[in-house]
Amino acid sequence: MNLPERIGGYIVERELGAGGMGTVYLARSRGGRSVAVKVARPELASDPHFRERFRAEVAAARSVGGFHTAPVVDADPDAAAPWLATAYIPGPTLSALLEAEGPMDEARLRGLGAALAEALAAIHGCGLVHRDLKPGNIIMAADGPRVLDFGIARALESTRLTATGTAFGTPGFLAPEQAQGQEVDGAADVFALGAVLVAAAGGSAFGAGTPMGMMYRSVHEPPDLAAVPEGLRPVVAACLAKAPAERPTPAALLDLFVPDAAPSPPAAAYAPTVAVVPPPPPSYAPYNAFPPPHQVPAPANSPLPY
């Protein structure tokens, strides 16, 4: 496999994967920072409408913060092959983790749901809609789940490569309005979050089979929640409501996933500082009154993880 030597100012180390938009490489900045660089496919690069939309979506994606996303650090929409660089987040995807370890229990599902809700709140707060939330786009990092590829799906969705009325996204995670090729908003991401939780519980909200069959079931049939722990079924069912207006917002989901979270205790009150007059020094220092300085051993090396 022939790797590009550089992409922009980043030295390419290896390929991480490929998808609908293009190829993702692990690369390193001149200062030693690891980044994931996604390069558009040649047919996308030749589409001026894609470049225009890509430029707008990258500008919006740069503003997304939050604890559960991979921040955009660089991009070049005008390169021969447009590319986008995000901070590299080591860890398996949710789909790989589930394949290796099996379904999650209720506590882990609640934690996953809360993390994804926070990520969606940050994404939607910047005027973006993810449009392709699925286990393969979620990295299970050491400090919690991270959502990848936010905002970029819109650029791909809006090109001439996507026929009018054709759904963009992943069958099984598409909201009914998205499966029918209609305009979508953040409620479509909430629907996908519900389908992700069903998958993390070991099930499949709309079964298996052909993409068209799964999309038909997402539009016309109720989701299969048999694998979801009983205590979580009401909130997952709400996420998977057919009507967008009936789905909870990401902010409301946080209360549903972690209803018992106690508020932080108030800061302790302290009495104001009172000046204390020190006692007068002795008129002389007795012999050996001052012991030698205390010898403190040097701390052991403990490099910080990153």
Catalytic residue numbers?
A: 132
Helices (H), 144-247: 152-157, 176-179, 186-200, 211-220, 233-239
Q: Give the strand pairing for 72-76 and 34-40.
A: unpaired
Measured CA to CA, the distance from residue 148 to residue 137 in angstroms comes to 5
Sort 29 into a burial class: Cβ within 10 Å, 0-12 / 13-18 / 19+. middle
- Taken as a whole, the chain contains a residue count of 306
Helices and strands of the chain, counted as H and E runs: 10, 8
Range 19-22, long-range pairs (CB < 8 A, 24+ positions) = 20/156, 21/149, 21/152, 21/156, 22/81
Residue 86 bridge partners (DSSP): 36, 72
